[in-house]
Amino acid sequence: MYLSRQLRLLPRANIARSLSSSGAHYTTAPAEDSHSTIEIPNRIERSPTDILQALAGTVGRDHTAPHYKYHDDPFLIPMSNAAKRTYAMSKESGRKAAKWIKEEHRELFMHQEAQPAVEKFAPSMVYTEDSHVEESSLRQLISQGELKDAVLVYNLLEQKGTSISPDLKQSLLELVCFHNNQEPLPEEYIEERWFMQNNQRRERSAKTWKDGDLAEKLYSEIEPKTPQSYASLIRGMAKYLQCERAYALLQEAGEKQIQLDTNTFNSIIQIVSFLKDTAEQRWQLCTELLQEMSQQKLRPNLGTLNSVLQCISTFGNFKLARSAALQVLPEFKQLGVSPSLGTYYYLLIIFCRERGPVSHVIVDILNDIAGKEFQIEHPKDTYFFATAMDVCRNHLHDKSLAKKVNELLHTGKNYDLVGDSFKESIYYRNYLALLCQTESLDDFMLTYDLLVPNIYIPEPGIMEEILRAVEINGGVEYVPRIWSDMVVFDHTHRESLLLYVLRILVDNKPSGESPAQQQLPEQGAKVALDMYEKVEDAIKRLRKVSFTGQMLGDILTLLVRGGNFEKACEVFAHVDKNQHRIPGTPAESALQEFVEASVLEKSPSQALVVLQYAVENNMDSSALAKRIHEGFTLNEVHLSKLKSLVGESFLDK
């Protein structure tokens, strides 16, 4: 403390010194300046995390490094979506285990090493049936949001007949209503929340409010009814979709001339779509509610705007939705309510409907908000980016818009609003899919390299899009690289992807002229061999994927082209031996190339096996036979075999 006092004096001393010796310093101002008073700025109060946040702001995202939460050991870096999730969750579960031990063996943690003590490391208070509780402990629990303990303590106080002040009871009611008397996910489980995807969304469609539970009991105990008690019960019911009763309560409050507040009305406007069925009725109820607010002299806020738009977004009637939205926006602009990203999210889903006409509202939105930095103000704010990218890809198919959205996402701290891992992956899925359809392959690969694998790992569907782009653009030289990514991302059990890779490699026979493709036959063979082994492996274990004749034919071709005749023979032996098990046959061209290769390798017996296979499988064998006859000087045994396969007549020709 003493030191800091000294430090605060320091600037003053410095200034005095620099003034006295101003001649020596490079002051451009004339001497009279020294007479003018120097204003020392007030000390700026910094919060404990300000410096840390400033430091964190200097650390950018390193695209080449895995996320901070993963071990910095190359061996431990997760490389597929499933692995990423597993790793992060296991780290979190370690944290949970530690916490469990701390609570379970509390006697080991009673000591306090730190001075000043860190409360968080002490075991938490445990409230039981016979603990001594007071009103103050209830108050503290409520302020910490500890729902379960608060309810327990409340019950204890009830049993002991301690009187509880009305405002404390009101606070408890709010707490119980907010959480629907369910213990929320503890704050510190940040990974769990990140990966939880959309559990809440699934709940959204059905009523989850606990009828006749503690909240309603508390509510009935409060007499006379205050606006606060009405408001908390209405909001709780609206939040957990007990819509009818929430609305009935609102009307009851209206009849009793009880003045509610804006946020309570917002919560009712949010559930208008559950109260009325048709768009017209919904819009009517919505405007009625707004009228009521206006009569009660309640100033609408951002929550009102977003709830109204949410209500509008459920309209089936596109025209009404559109015109209503365009009425609401200027209304709120007049009121000085500045929209949040959630507002724009609702606009997008109002204007850009799958079955409605194409709307370019996103262009206007982006013109409006480009370069702005946003903070979270509304729960739906995190939906904007995923939806905007979805609109760019599926609605407008516009690359430049997508880039603008991406730019906005990386403005300031906007990345915080990308939502959770689920929304983030939707965002990048749409982004990459759009880019690979609209950009040239080389440009696309730049983005691909930037995002994959540390920020985003493509799902199999996106991989297919990428492969399609590769195929269309004739970028066969990218295939080996993409294949290795696929192996790493654990996509090798997708038969469609395997076939696609093979098809691209087979169809684009490398010319050998361009330097980029010089390595290609060899790499192609490696890919084929790798795939062959992977599938063989998979068959032994998972049986998720199996060979088809087509696949093996392609593998055969690639091996032949890559000069790996030995392996090709092995693959063909596999085909030959498991004829009955493998659906389909290799393409004739594959067999031809293989025969060609066996001519070069001077292995007539191998060629004859191929011929035999072709004959047995009712394929066109004459070309093969001809090639074999011309290519080799066959000995007696081989010649007779050839004759027996294709008949005498062939040789006479």
Partner 1 sequence: MLALRSAQRLGLRSILPAAYKNVGLVSYSSSQSKNDDGYSSSDDEKPKKKKDKPVKKSDEPAETAAQRLNRLLGTMQATDQLSASDFPRPGDENRRRREVQKQEIASKNVLTAAKNIASMLGTSESDKKQTESELLAKLLGHGSESAPAAAGEGQTTAPAGDKELNLSELIVGMKIDRRQQPPQVEQTRGEYVRRSLASRAKSQGRDGYHQRPQRQVKREAESFTGSVNLYGGEPLGIFKDTQLPNSTDILSTWSQLSERELSLQAAHPPANYFEQMVLWTDESKVWRFPINNEQDWADEVNVDFSEHIFLEQHLEEWCPNKGPVRHFMELVCVGLSKNPYVTAQEKKDHILWFRDYFEAKKDILRDLISKEPGKSISA
Listed in sequence order, the residues at least 6 apart from 627 whose beta carbon sits closer than 8 Å to its beta carbon are 592, 595, 596, 599
Q: Using CB under 8 A as the criterion, what x/- string covers residues 249-288 for binding partner 1?
A: -----------xxxxx----------------------x-
Q: Give the CA angle between residues 76, 82, 88 to the nearest 5°.
A: 55
Of 33 and 221, which CB lies nearer to partner 1 in the complex structure? 221
Q: Which is nearer to partner 1, 436 or 556 (CB)?
A: 436
Q: According to CB under 8 A, which one of 285, 401, 432, 568 is a site residue for partner 1?
A: 401
Q: Which stretch binds partner 1 (CB under 8 A): 23-31, 190-198, 589-597, 607-615?
A: 190-198
CB crowding 74-106: b at 16 or more within 10 Å, else e: eeebbbebebbbebbbeebeeeeeeeeebeeee
335 is a contact residue toward partner 1 (CB under 8 A): yes
**HSE-CB of 489 using CA atoms within 13 angstroms:** 21
The answer to whether residues 314 and 273 touch, using CB atoms and an 8 Å cutoff, is yes
In the bound state with partner 1, the residue whose beta carbon lies nearer, of 229 and 621, is 229
Q: Using CB under 8 A, which of 102, 148, 360, 574 touches partner 1? A: 360
Q: What beta strand segments (E) does 45-148 contain?
A: none
Binding residue (CB under 8 A) for partner 1 from 151, 238, 302, 386: 386
Query: What is the Cα 43 distance to its own chain's centre?
Result: 42
Taking CB under 8 A as the criterion, the residue among 317, 411, 438, 447 binding partner 1 is: 438
Burial class (CB in 10 A: 0-12, 13-18, 19+), 538: middle
**Cβ–Cβ under 8 Å, residues 272 and 289:** yes
| 145 makes contact with partner 1 (CB under 8 A) | yes
Among 215, 426, 609, 610, binds partner 1 (CB under 8 A): 426
Residue closer to partner 1, measured from CB, 299 or 544: 299
Q: Is residue 417 a contact residue for partner 1 (CB under 8 A)?
A: yes
Nearest to 551 by CA among 602, 594, 495: 495
By CB under 8 A, residue 354 contacts partner 1: yes
Interaction residues for partner 1, span 70-109 (CB under 8 A)? 88
Q: Are 485 and 452 in contact (CB under 8 A)?
A: yes
**Site map 456..495 versus partner 1, x via CB under 8 A:** ------------x--xxxx---------------------
Residue nearer to partner 1 on the CB measure, 22 or 437: 437
Task: Give the one residue of 78, 300, 453, 586 binding partner 1; rule: CB under 8 A.
Answer: 300
Q: Which residue has the tokens 């007990």?
A: 242
CB 106 → partner 1: shortest distance, Å?
18
Closer of 33 and 62 to partner 1 (Cβ):
62
Q: How far is the CB of 32 from partner 1 (least distance, A)?
A: 39
How is 245-278 classified by DSSP, letter by letter?
Answer: HHHHHHHHHHHTT----HHHHHHHHHTHHHH--S
What's the closest the beta carbon of residue 120 comes to partner 1, in angstroms? Answer: 5
Nearer Cβ to partner 1 (228/523):
228
Inter-residue contact 503 to 524 (CB < 8 Å): no
Residue from 365, 405, 452, 595 touching partner 1 (CB under 8 A): that is 365
Rounded CA-CA distance 494/15 in Å is 72
Instruction: Kindly indicate which of the ranges 105-113, 117-125, 484-492, 576-584 contains the residues binding partner 1, using the contact rule CB under 8 A.
Output: 117-125
Residue type, position 400, single letter = S
Tell me the per-residue interface mask from 307 to 326 with partner 1, x by CB under 8 A, - otherwise: -------------------x
- Does position 130 interact with partner 1 (CB under 8 A)? The reply is no
Tell me how far, at minimum, the Cβ of 425 lies from partner 1, in Å.
Answer: 12
What is residue 196's three-state secondary structure?
coil
CB of 297 to partner 1, least distance (A): 6
The rounded distance, in Å, linking the Cα atoms of 243 and 270 is 10
The whole-angstrom separation of Cα 293 and Cα 287 is: 10
Q: Residue 401 or residue 409: which is nearer to partner 1 going by CB?
A: 401
Of residues 193 through 252, those in contact with partner 1 by CB under 8 A are: 193-194, 198, 201, 227-228, 231-232, 235
* Footprint on residues 148-187 left by partner 1 (CB under 8 A): 170-171, 174-175, 177-179, 187
From the list 14, 27, 53, 622, which residue makes contact with partner 1 (rule: CB under 8 A)? Answer: 53
Q: Is 291 in the site for partner 1 (CB under 8 A)?
A: yes
Residues 21-50 that bind partner 1 (CB under 8 A): 48-50
Residue 105 DSSP label: T
Task: Determine which residue in the list 95, 99, 276, 399 makes contact with partner 1, applying CB under 8 A.
Answer: 399
Among 25, 120, 132, 580, binds partner 1 (CB under 8 A): 120
Q: If you write DSSP's letter for every residue of 384-422 in order, what string do you get? A: HHHHHHHIIIIII--HHHHHHHHHHHTSTTGGGGG-SHH
* Contact set for partner 1, span 494-513 (CB under 8 A): none
Other CB atoms within a 10 A radius of the CB of residue 394 amount to 13
Residues 529 to 548 in contact with partner 1, rule: CB under 8 A? none
Query: How many other C-beta atoms lie within 10 A of the C-beta of residue 112?
Result: 12
Tell me the C-alpha distance between 535 and 533, whole Å: 5
Note whether 387 binds partner 1 by CB under 8 A: yes
Q: Is cis: bond before 224, omega within 30 of 0? A: yes
